[in-house]
Amino acid sequence: MTLRVKDLKVYYQTLRGDVHALDGVNFELADGEIMGLAGESGCGKSTLGKSLIRLDSRMRHVDGTIELDGENVPIADDRGMNRFRYHEISLIPQYAMSALNPTRKIGRMINELLQSRGVKPSEVAEELKRRLELVGLDPDVLNRFPIELSGGMKQRVVMVMATLLNPSVLIADEATSALDVSTQRSVVESMVEFRDRGFVKSMIFVTHDISLVYQMADTVMVMYAGRIAEKAPASTIINSPQHPYTKMLIGALPEVGSTVETRLEGIPGTPPGLLKPPTGCRFKARCPIASEECSQVPPLVEIEPGHWAACWKTGR
Amino acid sequence: MLELSHVHKVYRVGAFGGAKLRAVRDVNLLVKPGEVVSLIGESGSGKSTIGKMVLGLTKPSQGTITFEGEDITRIRGFAARKEYYGRVQGVFQDPFSSFNPIFKADRVFEMIRTSYFPGVSDADWREKVLDVVGTVRLDPENVLNKYPHQLSGGQLQRLLIARALLLDIRLLVADEIISMLDASTRIDVLNLLADLKERGLGILFVTHDLSLGNYVSDRSVILHKGAIAEMGPTRRVFENPLHPYSRHLLSCVPQLHRTWAEVDAELAANPPEDFEPPTVEEGDDSAPLVEAEEGHFVGIDQR
């Protein structure tokens, strides 16, 4: 078991009170698993990714534990986390453009990064070149400035950089959302290859695009308003989702092949604000099958092996 | 209704404007009333530049754009431009930056009123606003008299479409209007475009997302490096792509029920027939199209 997250609660502190961005999140990530983390904006998916690396000054760890390879990850302890950052838990941010220092050549920047983490650059120099070639980049990019590379190339540089020390968990936060479709495909395929070659043990791929997740993830976790709605193998989420939110979300996606003649339906309403989250099931206001029991919080239960859902109506 | 004929756009780039970048190359395009035409392309394909030229935000370097028989590149003067914008309006990608955050969102309606309908009485105007807000399927109670941050992206985007509908527009240029919206609300905006089409509005739908283009449009235009790679009825373009670039693009789209591996295997099992795209001489800036079947055109291959 690579990662085990238990009842994690992370709130944002604001002048008007706490925003319950993560409110009791439970999941496990197996060795070698690529988990797609999907949901609408504001559901807490990026907060979850960030919590595993660094809480910024507004974020407060309220409750819950994270275990990585059997070891407790002290996410509230900014210094204590240093041991895990980059070595064990690494991140690919959404915009590679803003992840690279524009005033440094890429090679120099990577060396500075390694030194700051206590690694001698010469120890990994060969590996760095090998991996750049693996993702189809000329090692000559190390002598170039970020501005000289295209978006897809920069994203690949960041990917190689983030996985250079073979981390246990890689968090890719919307890592390909800013890329064109053909570049997106090749970057995603190299990510899967990095997992297959063991450069990263497991991966959390945060995205809003469920059809992309289906291409590469082993499992998909769908979040809604700070909680987990459903987690299952990717093909189960797409072909037989159980949570009403997942069902409606997948029903609302146009595909190559669907046209206006077969009208798709959106989900009426908007997600609840998390400053004062509603009691009970957070989807109940938009849910077509909500009833009285939904005023109680539905537990996340395993309805069949590997398939978890938080809804009173499933699993009966 | 809208016709682009041999439109080119060349930008000067580089430190002293010495280098040239051909953003749009020899584009010929027609939008009829009640028709949705998708302009599909990756970044740098010139799709937004075409939208901007149609809206008169930038001028083509060569070629003509005619709207209802009038060459819009020759429109001069404030009154004539204002008259043009009474018929053609645009909605853009980011609804949050289209509104001024310190004013209430429905101020955009008030600005249309002062510019175009100064003589309308309060009661009539209110009725008109309620009518368009209903057309975009919003509840006036929830959206009027609110600040932009109190509304969702989907609501703001629909308010902007409602604003365009206050005018008697014939053509809507929708530049990536869905991209910033969440999956559960974007379909409502797409369905709204389909409703507007029924009312006889022509829509130029600019997008990078092939599945969105496919869902809403009658005709699709796939752009590559400024030139048209393939153009035709949406169904034909997606079922039977002939240009090598559109085939490549379609094989890279993540699909909901098929993985890339399945798509590749299928392509390998039934390889499509090769189609010879037209060619041009080196140094020739034109981009001819060949009609492969009725209404389905294939353009030059630029690698």
Determine whether the interchain pair B210/A181 forms a contact, defined as Cβ–Cβ distance below 8 Å: yes
Distance from CA of A247 to the nearest CA of B (A): 11
User: Residue B164's closest CA among B205, B127, B140, B135?
Assistant: B135
CB pairs under 8 A between A and B: 107
Determine whether the interchain pair B235/A212 forms a contact, defined as Cβ–Cβ distance below 8 Å: no
In tens, the pLDDT along A219-248 reads 999 999 999 999 999 999 999 999 999 999
Asked if residue A106 belongs to a domain, the reply is: no
Number of domains in chain B: 1
Asked if residue B8 belongs to a domain, the reply is: yes
Chain B contact for A239, CB < 8 A?
Answer: yes
Count CA atoms within 13 Å of residue A305 on its CB side. 0
Asked if residue A285 belongs to a domain, the reply is: no
pLDDT confidence of residue B127? 92
Judging contacts by C-beta atoms under 8 Å, the chain B residues touching residue A270 are 152, 185
Judging contacts by C-beta atoms under 8 Å, the chain B residues touching residue A255 are 211, 214-215, 255-257
User: Residue B53's closest CA among B34, B25, B13, B78?
Assistant: B25
pLDDT confidence of residue A251? 86
Asked if residue B95 belongs to a domain, the reply is: no
Q: Give the position of tokens 């950089």.
A: A161
| C-beta separation of B89 from B167 below 8 A | yes
In total, chain B counts a number of residues equal to: 303
The CATH number of whichever domain residue A53 belongs to comes to 3.40.50.300
| C-beta separation of B299 from B229 below 8 A | yes
In total, chain A counts a number of residues equal to: 316
pLDDT confidence of residue A26? 93
In tens, the pLDDT along B130-184 reads 988 888 878 888 888 889 888 878 888 889 999 998 998 999 999 888 877 777 7
Q: Residue A316 pLDDT > 60, yes or no?
A: no
Q: What is the DSSP letter of B240?
A: S
Tokens found for residue B21: 């970048």
β partners of residue B88:
B171
Integer Cα distance of A282 and A279 in angstroms: 7
CB atoms within 10 A of CB B286: 13
CA gyration radius for chain B?
Answer: 21
Asked if residue A46 belongs to a domain, the reply is: yes
Distance from CA of B81 to the nearest CA of A (A): 34
- Nearest CB to B184; choose among A181, A209, A252: A252
Q: What pLDDT band is residue A315 in, cutting at 50, 70 and 90?
A: low
Q: b/e string for A96-113 if b means 16 or more Cβ within 10 A?
A: bbebbeeeebbbebbbeb
Judging contacts by C-beta atoms under 8 Å, the chain B residues touching residue A236 are none
The CATH number of whichever domain residue B208 belongs to comes to 3.40.50.300
Judging contacts by C-beta atoms under 8 Å, the chain A residues touching residue B234 are 259
Q: Residue B93 pLDDT > 90, yes or no?
A: no
Chain B contact for A208, CB < 8 A?
Answer: yes
β partners of residue B7:
B27
Asked if residue A123 belongs to a domain, the reply is: no
Contact residues, B window 284-303, toward A, CB-based 8 Å cutoff? none
Give me chain B's average pLDDT, please: 88
Integer Cα distance of A278 and A296 in angstroms: 11
Integer Cα distance of B133 and B106 in angstroms: 10
Q: Which helix (H) or strand (E) holds B6?
A: strand B2-13
pLDDT confidence of residue B123? 93
Q: What pLDDT band is residue A257 in, cutting at 50, 70 and 90?
A: low
Give me chain A's average pLDDT, please: 89
Asked if residue A127 belongs to a domain, the reply is: no
Please tell me which residue, B106 or B274, carries the higher pLDDT value: B106
In tens, the pLDDT along B237-272 reads 988 899 999 998 888 888 888 888 888 888 888 888
Q: Give the position of tokens 């890429």.
A: A106
β partners of residue A204:
A35, A171
pLDDT confidence of residue B232? 93
Long-range contacts of A135-144 (CB under 8 A, 24+ apart): A135/A159, A135/A160, A135/A190, A136/A186, A136/A190, A141/A106, A142/A105, A142/A106, A142/A107, A142/A110, A143/A105, A143/A106, A143/A107, A144/A105, A144/A106
Q: Which helix (H) or strand (E) holds A179?
A: none
Residue A98 sits at the vertex; the CA angle it makes with A94 and A103, to the nearest 5 degrees, is: 155
pLDDT confidence of residue A111? 94
pLDDT exceeding 90 applies to what percent of chain B? 39
Q: What is the ipTM of this complex?
A: 0.79
pLDDT confidence of residue A97? 67
Question: A176-180, A185-189, A259-263, A305-309: which range is least confident on average?
Answer: A259-263
pLDDT confidence of residue B302? 82
Chain B contact for A185, CB < 8 A?
Answer: yes
Determine whether the interchain pair A215/B259 forms a contact, defined as Cβ–Cβ distance below 8 Å: yes
Determine whether the interchain pair A210/B183 forms a contact, defined as Cβ–Cβ distance below 8 Å: yes
Determine whether the interchain pair B214/A254 forms a contact, defined as Cβ–Cβ distance below 8 Å: yes
| C-beta separation of A8 from A22 below 8 A | yes
Asked if residue A191 belongs to a domain, the reply is: no
Chain B contact for A285, CB < 8 A?
Answer: no
In tens, the pLDDT along A153-186 reads 888 899 999 999 999 999 998 888 778 888 888 8
Number of domains in chain A: 1
| C-beta separation of B54 from B65 below 8 A | yes
Tokens found for residue A268: 């009426």
Judging contacts by C-beta atoms under 8 Å, the chain A residues touching residue B156 are none
Chain A contact for B37, CB < 8 A?
Answer: no
Chain A contact for B103, CB < 8 A?
Answer: no
Judging contacts by C-beta atoms under 8 Å, the chain B residues touching residue A181 are 42, 208, 210, 249, 252-254
- Nearest CB to B185; choose among A210, A214, A266: A266
Residue of B nearest to A240 (CA): B257
User: Residue A215's closest CA among A226, A207, A224, A225?
Assistant: A207
Asked if residue A24 belongs to a domain, the reply is: yes
| C-beta separation of B252 from B73 below 8 A | no
Distance from CA of B235 to the nearest CA of A (A): 8
| C-beta separation of A29 from A217 below 8 A | no
Distance from CA of A126 to the nearest CA of B (A): 32
In tens, the pLDDT along B177-195 reads 887 777 777 888 888 888 8
Asked if residue B151 belongs to a domain, the reply is: no
Which residues have C-beta within 8 Å of that of residue A112, sequence separation ≥ 6? Answer: A104
Determine whether the interchain pair B208/A180 forms a contact, defined as Cβ–Cβ distance below 8 Å: yes
Asked if residue A68 belongs to a domain, the reply is: yes
Q: Residue A66 pLDDT > 70, yes or no?
A: yes
| C-beta separation of A28 from A68 below 8 A | no
In which domain, by residue range, is B228 found?
Answer: 2-87+167-235
pLDDT exceeding 90 applies to what percent of chain A? 55
Tokens found for residue A271: 């997600």
Question: A27-41, A87-101, A226-240: which range is least confident on average?
Answer: A87-101
Count CA atoms within 13 Å of residue A137 on its CB side. 29
Integer Cα distance of B88 and B83 in angstroms: 9
Chain B contact for A6, CB < 8 A?
Answer: no
Q: Residue A253 pLDDT > 90, yes or no?
A: no
Chain B contact for A229, CB < 8 A?
Answer: no
Distance from CA of A244 to the nearest CA of B (A): 13
The alpha carbon of residue B266 and the mean position of all alpha carbons in its chain are separated, in whole angstroms, by 32
pLDDT confidence of residue B137? 79
